[in-house]
């Protein structure tokens, strides 16, 4: 069947609009009416009352209406659908369909994702894969295009994306802008190749998100002046307020590895909150299943003393305004009929979730839906991303002094702990290595890690931000080699190894980042692997795998490890 003509498209939209007006005026019945509703009005900052009428997926009126279908909302509160302002879908370790099944019961109706995890593995094909894998899902998945692939020139990923490579994606209707500009040294140093990415995004009238932990003074001024509009890396109020005062929007992050909500509670006041949004950044399956998604951020904010109406606005309305998603984030005529129904603000139990006027979660189950079709070429390429030779203990046997990366509990920042030339589990000094896996270069960066707690064996994962090489930490080189080899055999994932025996593993065969299984299956395997890691001595104060995955991200202070060695992030120099 041929493409719809321009005249045909205009006529179809005209007929739809005419019906919306007829229903809003009360001359026709609505598709759906939420009767006797108490709802949050984000414009007047109060709870209002009335019937909410829905037609053609939109809210068309509030007052007294009749509909073809109706729900009585007496004794409940109806809120706008929640928006995650910044997330990497790949961090859930499952396909986008499984991610959507997980977050719908938590009231999420829109997410803004940065696919730089898979883009670091597959390049532009990774972006296209995620666009196809999210097309038509019942949670609206919007995109920010990766700005730093690799994160810095000192990293070694599966692809290099310049502004020309991603420029055509700006024309996609679900692309909102340029994702977190992690290479802040390149911005403040006026690197032309970095700045041209910002200029290109602005030429398309798109947003540019930031990523600049601890940046201050004139360096911060330069970063903001370059055109970076937001930041999600704030872990203390002073840092956040300094950025907010310079015009940036602050994304208050509460994820699995980085949990900043408690520290940033001072922002959730009338003085600052209108410049704030909620995001998760990275969420592991267990957190999605047990704690929730953006609803968890709201619930925790209220529990810690935030005004409930303000907290909900941060969870929906502010992100919609920031990203110019002008038809969501509010309950008013002309907005999408995306609703979250809760019992009350204190318990904040989610009873129903509607997307464009359709009930997708009834308090017990999520309505079933099909996974989008993906181009066979992309699907095959995503399952064949490991290209490296088999490893031996000798590959990890470097004896020269190497930098010690000191972990900080509850954070993804690190500290410089000096040097070591050997493993010493009694002093919590372990060997850590990053193995290049994209192009068979046999590059292996080696350093030491303190604060992880492992006493025996080794742990490896192909989820290692952002280039997603194999990162492995161990109490001996033999188990390090065995764990890394098992990762390659599985085409990606997580492995816990002791004395050459697999103690736990999670297979992530989609680009080494995501599983073809269900969220529940992945979570079961992941929790068993965590238990195995803890049994080998890993500190229970950290997530064994997600925390480890950030030790190779060369844009978070202070020390990190890449395929070429330990680097000082601030100086962008090897140590």
> Which is it for the CA torsion 323, 324, 327, 331, positive or negative?
positive
Interatomic CA distance for residues 272 and 270, integer angstroms:
6
Instruction: Enumerate domains of the chain plus CATH numbers.
Output: 6-75 (2.30.40.10), 82-322 (3.20.20.140), 384-574 (no CATH)
Counting Cα atoms < 13 Å in the Cβ hemisphere of 489 gives 13
Percentages of the chain per state (helix, strand, coil), in multiples of 5: 30, 30, 40
| Rounded alpha-carbon distances, angstroms, from residue 295 to 298, 505, 541 | 5, 30, 24
What is the mean pLDDT for each group of 10 consecutive residues in the chain (575 residues)? 79 94 96 98 98 98 97 98 97 96 97 97 98 98 96 90 96 97 92 96 97 94 98 95 97 90 97 98 91 97 98 98 97 98 97 98 96 97 98 94 91 92 96 98 98 98 96 98 98 98 98 97 97 97 90 91 94 88
Q: How far is C-alpha 88 from the chain's CA centre? A: 3
pTM, two decimals, is: 0.94
| Rounded alpha-carbon distances, angstroms, from residue 302 to 47, 312, 338, 367 | 16, 9, 22, 29
pLDDT value of residue 1: 44
Contact 137, 372 (CB under 8 A): yes
pLDDT value of residue 45: 97
Terminal Cα-to-Cα distance of the chain (whole angstroms)? 62
pLDDT value of residue 2: 55
Contact 375, 383 (CB under 8 A): no
User: Is the bond into 150 cis (omega within 30 degrees of 0)?
Assistant: yes
| Angle made by CA atoms 383, 466, 120, in degrees to the nearest 5 | 45
State the DSSP code for 119.
Answer: H
Token pair, residue 502, equals 């697999």
What residues are paired with 405 via a beta bridge?
Answer: 416, 449
H-run or E-run covering 446: strand 444-450
H-run or E-run covering 355: strand 350-355
- Give the sheet arrangement for strand 559-562, strand by strand: 559-562, 565-568, 573-574
The 3-state secondary structure of 2-60, one letter per residue: CCCCHHHHHHHHHHHHHHHHHHHCCCCCECEEEEEEEEEECCCCEEEEEEEEEECCEEE
The DSSP result for 59-101, as a single string, is EEEEES--BSSEEE-TT-EEEEPEEEEEE-GGGGSB-HHHHHH
Interatomic CA distance for residues 460 and 339, integer angstroms:
41
460: phi then psi, degrees, rounded to nearest 5: -135, 150
State the DSSP code for 492.
Answer: B
Nearest to 569 by CA among 442, 413, 404, 393: 413
Only one residue has tokens 């939109």, namely 58
Interatomic CA distance for residues 225 and 247, integer angstroms:
10
């Amino acid at each position: 069947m041929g493409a719809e003509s321009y005249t045909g498209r205009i006529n179809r939209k005209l007929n739809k609009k005419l019906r919306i007006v007829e229903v809003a005026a009360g001359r026709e019945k609505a598709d759906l009416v939420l009767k006797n509703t108490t709802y949050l009005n984000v414009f007047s900052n109060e709870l209002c009352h009335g019937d909410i009428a829905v037609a053609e997926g939109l809210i068309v009126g509030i007052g007294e209406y009749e509909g073809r279908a109706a729900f009585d909302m007496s004794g409940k509160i109806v809120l706008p659908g929640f928006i995650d302002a910044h997330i990497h879908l790949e961090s859930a370790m499952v396909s986008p369909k499984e991610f959507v099944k997980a977050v719908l019961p938590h009231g999420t109706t829109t997410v803004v994702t940065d696919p730089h995890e898979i883009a670091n593995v597959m390049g532009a094909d990774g972006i296209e894969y995620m666009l196809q894998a999210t097309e038509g899902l019942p949670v609206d998945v919007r995109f920010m295009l990766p700005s730093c692939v690799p994160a810095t020139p000192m990293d070694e990923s599966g692809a290099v994306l310049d502004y020309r490579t991603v420029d055509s994606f700006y024309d996609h209707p679900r692309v909102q802008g340029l994702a977190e500009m992690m290479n802040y040294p390149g911005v403040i140093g006026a690197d032309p190749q970095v700045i041209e990415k910002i200029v290109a995004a602005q030429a398309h009238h798109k947003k540019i998100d930031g990523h600049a932990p601890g940046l201050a003074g004139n360096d911060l001024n330069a970063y903001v002046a370059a055109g970076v509009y937001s930041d999600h890396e704030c872990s203390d109020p002073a840092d956040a307020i300094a950025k907010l005062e310079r015009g940036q929007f602050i994304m208050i992050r509460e994820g699995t590895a980085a949990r900043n909500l408690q520290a940033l509670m001072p922002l959730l006041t009338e003085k600052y909150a209108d410049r704030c949004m909620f995001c998760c950044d990275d969420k592991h399956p267990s957190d999605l299943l047990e704690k929730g998604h953006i609803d968890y951020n709201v619930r925790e904010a209220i529990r810690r003393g935030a005004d409930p109406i303000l907290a909900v606005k941060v969870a929906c309305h502010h992100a919609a305004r920031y990203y110019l998603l002008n038809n969501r984030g509010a309950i008013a005529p002309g907005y999408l009929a995306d609703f979250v129904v809760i019992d009350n603000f204190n318990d904040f139990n989610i009873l129903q979730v509607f997307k464009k006027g359709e009930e997708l979660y009834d308090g017990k189950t999520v309505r079933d839906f099909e996974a989008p079709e993906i181009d066979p070429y992309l699907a095959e390429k995503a399952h064949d991303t490991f290209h490296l030779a088999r490893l031996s203990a000798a590959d990890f046997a470097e004896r020269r002094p190497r930098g010690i990366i000191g972990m900080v509990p509850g954070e993804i920042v690190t500290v410089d702990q000096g040097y070591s030339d050997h493993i010493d589990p009694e002093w919590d000094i372990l060997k850590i290595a990053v193995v290049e896996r994209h192009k068979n270069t046999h590059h292996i960066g080696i350093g030491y890690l303190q604060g992880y707690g492992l006493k025996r064996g080794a742990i490896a994962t192909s989820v290692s931000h952002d280039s997603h090489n194999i990162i492995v930490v161990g109490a001996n080189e033999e188990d390090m080699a065995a764990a890394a080899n098992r990762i390659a055999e599985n085409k990606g994932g997580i492995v816990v190894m002791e004395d050459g025996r697999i103690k736990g593993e999670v297979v992530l065969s989609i680009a080494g980042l995501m599983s073809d299984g269900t969220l529940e299956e992945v979570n079961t395997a992941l929790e068993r692997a965590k238990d195995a890691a803890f049994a080998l001595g890993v500190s229970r104060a950290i997530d064994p795998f997600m925390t480890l995955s950030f030790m190779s991200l060369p844009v978070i202070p202070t020390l990190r490890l890449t395929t070429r060695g330990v680097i000082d992030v601030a100086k962008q120099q090897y140590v």
